[in-house]
Amino acid sequence: MELNKLTAHELIQKLNSKEITAKDIFSALDNRIKEIDHKVKAYVRAEKDTNSTEATGIPVSIKDNISTNGYRTECCSKILEGFIPPYDATVIKKIKESGHSFLGLKLNMDEFAFGSSTENSFFGPTHNPWDLSCVPGGSSGGSAAAVAADEAIWAIGSDTGGSIRQPASFCGVVGLKPTYGRVSRFGLIAFASSLDQIGPLTKDVHDSALLSNIISGYDSNDSTSINTTVPDYTKSLINDVKGIKVGIPKEYFVEGLDPEVKSSLQEAIETLKKLGAQFKEISLPHTEYAVPVYYIIATAEASSNLARFDAVQYGFRADSANLIDMYKKTRSQGFGDEAKRRILLGTFALSHGYYDAYYLRALKVRTLIKRDFDNVFKDFDCIITPTSPTAAFKIGEKTDDPLKMYLSDIYTISANLAGIPAISLPCGLTKRGLPVGLQILSKHFNEELLLRVAYTYEQNTQWHKNKPKL
Amino acid sequence: MSIDKKIVEDVAHLARIELKDTESAKLSGQLEHILGFIDKLSKLNTDNIPATSHILPINNVLREDQPKESLPIEKTLLNAPNKQRNFFVVPKVLE
């Protein structure tokens, strides 16, 4: 039996009945990584050995922007070259406290999570396990690809504008972005602090509930984390959607949506209708403003967050004559093209003379976008949309046109702006054999409903059982 | 709006990034293109709409100002590109 192919909940049963040991799981993953990762490149850096001596419970694979005590964490950027965190992020601490462990290897991502394809990694792109010439999505592309290729049992990613859900959709796995404030970001290297959220990427909805149980909860080290009770999410694994009211936003089914994605979605809606869910068309009138609002707010916050990379306390430092020269040379040589682009855009939006027209206006339109959702959730339990307008695109296809790349997040960005939870799960395959993702959104702190609808869909379909042929 | 090379270079200086000539030329075109798309925000009437400062209704988070354990100095300096005794070393600031 190949243990690496199983889900965490299946493995937990085998561990409990003493049929296998944690070391067996680590060694199955070790073998798989050695067999396949030279093609997929989901993990970064040369060392490809897991820390199996510390094996306990189910190993979790971690995105390279989450601090792991004693293990390199470089955000896939040259500017953090050699950085070894002196402490664990709160999510890592919680994983260890729950009896599970960190695999010992970090997952590829777009530099500082700036991207939708993992092509902006200093270490080079990850390849989509379903078609190695395609991107895995991004920025948590390594996390999604590793889970899809059975090189990880489950993984942790981060989502600022869709960075968990869009790669989950491209790689045919389940990705959950929890409510803003549900999971502590302490130890996550910040991108846009009013949008960033950590969440799980898993092989099925059951594992998503299990990993959410582990990582959720208040943390005094993250003043944006919310001090409310965390429910047991496995109690939401209920195969029943009778009477659940679902809104379908008309603004999401317009030009730009791939016909194959559209028909997969329509089929999924039919399936849920037959199971008793009630559907109605709704409107989120400010949808078209989500991408422009996001690229002002996210880049403004990023430009401020990335000011800390000054070569004084950690990371790469360029040879230089004086202090200003050190900052400038280090940042020019240390940041990749997309990071520079975003820092400049954000600095511009915050600069004197442009602040009101760009940044302040974006914050106001953000309020309008949030109100759109508030209005819908007065009458509906959840909203269903495609996760991304297309299936995975080719490596290199959008690298010359940043705006085109930004638009691939068009369906995922609003959830971050509104702070609401959202999940992506597989709902089809295109004719070329690439996965299609379905996104469910609900109001703040209603992850339970997302999991219930997702679980019901999964129990009544087979899409999550498809595996890429590698 | 038009983003010429001068604006790009001014902003780059604020962000402490040094750009090659070819880079600033390329970036001025790209930023102009992106800002052109973002300009659709100016079509909306946002009078009387409050700016979102936090997405959830939470207030300032305060705690007692009590000493807690912190990282030992040797761990703090572990990643320093250049250090001497208990200090981070940087190039000369004053001539």
Check CB contact under 8 Å for A344 and B53.
no
What pLDDT is recorded for position A8?
98
pLDDT digits (tens, 9 = 90+) for A29-69: 999 999 999 999 999 986 667 888 878 999 999 999 999 99
In a domain, A380, yes or no: no
A139 is known as an active-site residue: yes
Would you place residue A292 in the very low, low, confident or very high pLDDT band (cuts 50, 70, 90)? very high
Burial environment of residue A119 by CB neighbours within 10 A (0 to 12, 13 to 18, 19 or more): buried
In a domain, B74, yes or no: no
Using CA atoms, how far apart are residues A221 and A308, in angstroms rounded to an integer?
19
Answer yes or no: do A158 and A307 share one domain: no
Kindly provide the residue ranges of all beta strands, DSSP E only, lying in A64-150, ordered along the sequence: 101-107
In a domain, A185, yes or no: yes
Check pLDDT > 80 for residue A374: yes
What pLDDT is recorded for position A140?
98
What is the mean pLDDT of the segment spanning A310-325?
94
Q: Tell me the pairing of strands A197-202 and A278-282.
A: unpaired
How far is residue A247 CA from its own chain's centroid? 24
In a domain, B57, yes or no: no
Residue of B74, B77, B90 for testing the chain A interface, max A β-carbons within 10 Å:
B90
Answer yes or no: do A292 and A257 share one domain: no
pTM, to two decimals = 0.97
Structural domain boundaries, residue A359: 287-368
Residue of B16, B56, B69 for testing the chain A interface, max A β-carbons within 10 Å:
B16
DSSP assignment string, A293-309: HHHHHHHHHHHHHGGG-
Answer yes or no: do A248 and A359 share one domain: no
In a domain, A376, yes or no: no
Answer yes or no: do A321 and A357 share one domain: yes
Using CA atoms, how far apart are residues A280 and A439, in angstroms rounded to an integer?
16
In a domain, B30, yes or no: yes
pLDDT digits (tens, 9 = 90+) for A136-177: 999 999 999 999 999 999 999 999 999 999 999 999 999 999
What pLDDT is recorded for position A408?
86
Given A158, A163, A212, A424, which residue is catalytic?
A: A163
What is the mean pLDDT of the segment spanning A246-273?
95
Answer yes or no: do A74 and A13 share one domain: yes
In a domain, A375, yes or no: no
pLDDT digits (tens, 9 = 90+) for A351-360: 989 999 999 9
Using CA atoms, how far apart are residues A5 and A31, in angstroms rounded to an integer?
12
A235 is known as an active-site residue: no
pLDDT digits (tens, 9 = 90+) for B3-61: 999 999 999 999 999 999 999 999 999 999 999 999 999 999 999 999 998 899 877 88
Structural domain boundaries, residue B15: 5-43
DSSP assignment string, A367-414: HHHHHHHHHHHHH-SEEEEESSSSSPPBTTSSTT-HHHHHGGGTTTHH
> What percentage of chain A reaches a pLDDT higher than 90?
94
> What percentage of chain A reaches a pLDDT higher than 70?
99
pLDDT digits (tens, 9 = 90+) for A391-410: 999 999 999 888 888 888 99
In a domain, B61, yes or no: no
CATH of the domain at B22: 1.10.20
Answer yes or no: do A19 and A81 share one domain: yes
Q: Which residue of A has its CA nearest to B64?
A: A220
What is the mean pLDDT of the segment spanning A362-372?
97
Check CB contact under 8 Å for A351 and B14.
yes
What pLDDT is recorded for position A337?
95
CATH of the domain at A164: 3.90.1300.10
Given A52, A101, A139, A216, which residue is catalytic?
A: A139
Given A41, A63, A96, A443, which residue is catalytic?
A: A63
How many structural domains does chain A have?
2
Answer yes or no: do A296 and A253 share one domain: no
pLDDT digits (tens, 9 = 90+) for A189-220: 999 999 999 999 999 999 999 999 999 999 99
What is the mean pLDDT of the segment spanning A366-371?
98
Check CB contact under 8 Å for A295 and B82.
no
Answer yes or no: do A37 and A163 share one domain: yes
Answer yes or no: do A184 and A221 share one domain: yes
Using CA atoms, how far apart are residues A301 and A111, in angstroms rounded to an integer?
16
Check CB contact under 8 Å for B52 and A366.
yes
How many structural domains does chain B have?
1
What pLDDT is recorded for position A47?
67
In a domain, A334, yes or no: yes
Angstrom CA distances, A66 to A136, A210, A422, stand at 20, 20, 21
In a domain, B16, yes or no: yes
Answer yes or no: do A260 and A357 share one domain: no
